Amino acid sequence: MKKKMSLALKIVLFVSLIFTIIFSTVILIVSSVVQSGVYKIQFQSMQQGAVQLGEQIETEFTNLGRRVYLGTLRKAVIDEITSGKYDKIHALIEDSYKSSDIIESAFFTNKTGKIIANAPDKNAIGLDMSGQAFWGVMKTETVRTFYDTKVLKSQTTGNAFFVIASPVFSDAGEFIGSFALAIDLKKYGEKYILTKKYGETGYPFLMDDKGVNIIHPDQKNVLSDQISDYKYNILSSQKKVDHTPYVFKGVHKNLFYSKLNTFPWTICVTIDRSDLLSLSNMLRNTIIGIGLVSLLLIISILFILIEKIVGKPLRTIVKVLSSSSSQIGDASEQLSAASIEISNGATEQAASVEETSASMEELSSMVTQNVSNTQQSSILAVKTSELASSGEEQMSKMLTSINQIGKSSEEIRNVIDVIDDIAFQTNMLALNAAVEAARAGEVGMGFAVVADEVKNLAGRSAESAKETAKLIKESIKSIEDGVVSSNKLAETFKEIFNNINKVTEMNKEVETASKQQDTGIKQINMAIIQFDQVVQTNASSAEETASAAEELQGQVSSLNELVDNLLFIVTGERSVVKKEQKNTIKPVSRNVQKTFKRLPPKQKLLPPKESEKKSNHISFEDDEEFKNIEDL
């Protein structure tokens, strides 16, 4: 048999591919970040190098200028220039010249510009320097130290130089001469500037405000008239410190510059771009190399771990599955027999459920009728309560009216008392009038007749008032008796109304209880119907289970093939001998009743038949191979 790759090897290859992609991405990102960081550091280092060179040049040339200035302040120098004797001046010139190897010459001039002392060339004594730029400044301006930054080419050495000079004044403040040093820029560059190294290709150079090189590793480029375009960019820039990329003879370069403060010069540091990136590229390549070695090591460890964690347990599982396929066939036979027993039991249960369901339907009908009667009784009680309430309200109104009549009778009686009092007073006035008429004699006879009539009227009015008062008192007594009777009747109505309300509440409670009973019976009936459906479903499921048990045996052979394929995937080998599963399951009868006919409501329930149940199941507790699976 041809052997192929095992599952462990396939997993290792797949995981290695994913891990390689992720790890490579991380390595590339890290290397890129490191490369960028290192490049930035080198970039800043080159820029700082240019700044430091510029500061160094300014410091050293300023110190030389201070020495020149101090030389002009010596008393002996002033006296000898004034007297015309130059012995000490010659010694000072010699010492100044020998003090530094970057000094091309040192000399003194008198007030007319002629050299009176010079080192190292004595033949230069007597030369006229009044035409030089520094002399004009010494003559016309009061300066402490003058730096003639116009760089010239020495006729003696052919090197570039510039002059540092200071004026000499007498004690009276009169200009009497000057002291000057000519600085050899080539020697200065070779000693202090060009010794600086920047990578493999980097070097510094110094140029003036015109872009002319005054210090350069290649002497051909010193004081050359050829000016590159990138120098114009530097000169036109307002930045003191900056950088600019450029291309020189097809090579990409980076130039870092710093403009000096005291001198109109610019110190530059140039380097090939590839050289600037060399360290960052080396670190990037180192990281990638370490990453590749680490990746190979991780893949090797991963293969060993997967083989141990996955390959070995899978081989054990394949062995267990292969030995268990035969047991599945036996289990399917037992499952078929159990399904038939369940189906028979479900049939008997369905008959009992139908009987119970019919009885519950009758009980539900009776409770429903009881609920209906209770609801009608409750409605009648509510109507009676409403009529009693209306009668009580009318009785209250009648009592109010009777009370109002009693109050009116009392007011009438008061009015009659007033009328009676007025009749009495009228009678008294009539008597007084009769007495006065008697006294008047014949003159008062007519008046006496009128008084007598008034007296008669007053007597009749008093008599009528008494009779009216008597009638009103009898009416008031009758009204009071009617009020007492009405109050008793109102209390009777209230008691009737309260009893009606109690009857209504009791009817409502009976109605509520009947409704709850009806609801409970409906729920029980629904549960019985659902139980009936479950029983029928169980019977149908039992038949389907028996049918599935037949099909299960057919799947056993397919399982054997799958196990063999799994063995091939795990180990890369196929089994030489395939175990054939014996078909030991008998066809299962499918004459299982699926639907059930309902029984009459009053038919007696039949007791369920007792079927003999046989315990035919397979135990896997003693199977060592399944215990191995649990150990995994």
Spatial CA neighbour of 24 closest among 384, 321, 289: 289
Q: Are residues 36 and 176 in the same domain?
A: yes
Q: Are residues 493 and 563 in the same domain?
A: yes
pLDDT of residue 329: 63
Question: How far is it, in rounded angstroms, from Cα 60 to Cα 547?
Answer: 108
Q: Are residues 246 and 365 in the same domain?
A: no
- Please determine, for residue 623, whether its predicted confidence score (pLDDT) is greater than 80: no
- Please determine, for residue 185, whether its predicted confidence score (pLDDT) is greater than 90: yes
Q: Which of 523, 556, 571 is the C-terminal boundary of a domain?
A: 571
CATH of residue 199: 3.30.450.20
- Please determine, for residue 186, whether its predicted confidence score (pLDDT) is greater than 90: yes
Percentage of residues in the chain with pLDDT exceeding 90? 14
* Average confidence (pLDDT) over 365-377: 76
What is the DSSP secondary structure assignment for residue 193, as one 8-state letter?
A: I
Of the listed ranges 153-162, 328-337, 612-621, the one predicted with least confidence: 612-621
Q: Which domain holds residue 526?
A: 330-571
* Average confidence (pLDDT) over 546-559: 72
603 part of a folded domain = no
Q: Which of 571, 588, 606 is the C-terminal boundary of a domain?
A: 571
Under the banding of pLDDT at 50, 70 and 90, the label for residue 311 is low
Under the banding of pLDDT at 50, 70 and 90, the label for residue 360 is confident
- Please determine, for residue 627, whether its predicted confidence score (pLDDT) is greater than 60: no
The answer to whether 629 and 317 are in contact (CB under 8 A) is: yes
Q: Are residues 264 and 392 in the same domain?
A: no
- 324 burial (CB, 10 Å; 0-12 / 13-18 / 19+) is middle
Question: How far is it, in rounded angstroms, from Cα 40 to Cα 38?
Answer: 5
- 630 burial (CB, 10 Å; 0-12 / 13-18 / 19+) is exposed
Q: Are residues 342 and 194 in the same domain?
A: no
436 part of a folded domain = yes
The first and second tokens of residue 173, run together, are: 């403040």
Q: Are residues 350 and 273 in the same domain?
A: no
* Average confidence (pLDDT) over 264-278: 88
Which of the two residues, 487 and 219, has the higher pLDDT score?
Answer: 219
547 part of a folded domain = yes
Which of the two residues, 19 and 222, has the higher pLDDT score?
Answer: 222
294 part of a folded domain = no
Q: Is the pTM of this model over 0.85?
A: no
Under the banding of pLDDT at 50, 70 and 90, the label for residue 130 is confident
pLDDT of residue 584: 44
- Partners of 242 in beta bridges: 257
Under the banding of pLDDT at 50, 70 and 90, the label for residue 594 is very low
pLDDT of residue 29: 84
Q: Distance of CA 382 to CAs 378, 403, 507, 596, Å? A: 6, 32, 10, 49
371 part of a folded domain = yes
pLDDT in tens, 596-610: 444 444 444 344 444
Q: Are residues 269 and 381 in the same domain?
A: no
Buried b (16+ CB within 10 A) or exposed e, 266-305: bbbbbbbeebbbbebeebbeebeeebeeebeeebeebbee
312 part of a folded domain = no
pLDDT of residue 485: 77
The mean pLDDT value of the chain amounts to 77
- Please determine, for residue 335, whether its predicted confidence score (pLDDT) is greater than 50: yes
pLDDT of residue 59: 94
Which of the two residues, 444 and 210, has the higher pLDDT score?
Answer: 210
- Please determine, for residue 592, whether its predicted confidence score (pLDDT) is greater than 70: no
CATH of residue 340: 1.10.287.950
Q: Are residues 415 and 563 in the same domain?
A: yes
Cα angle 42, 46, 47; round to 5 = 115
Q: Are residues 238 and 346 in the same domain?
A: no
pLDDT of residue 571: 63
Which of the two residues, 336 and 436, has the higher pLDDT score?
Answer: 436
Q: Which of 571, 598, 621 is the C-terminal boundary of a domain?
A: 571
Spatial CA neighbour of 519 closest among 364, 375, 401: 364
pLDDT in tens, 20-39: 788 778 877 877 777 677 77
Q: Are residues 340 and 193 in the same domain?
A: no
595 part of a folded domain = no
Under the banding of pLDDT at 50, 70 and 90, the label for residue 55 is very high
Range among 1-5, 89-93, 498-502 with highest mean pLDDT value: 89-93
| Edge-to-edge strand list for the sheet holding 103-110 | 115-119, 103-110, 175-184, 160-169, 146-153
- Please determine, for residue 582, whether its predicted confidence score (pLDDT) is greater than 70: no
pLDDT of residue 574: 63
Look at the chain and report how many structural domains it folds into: 2
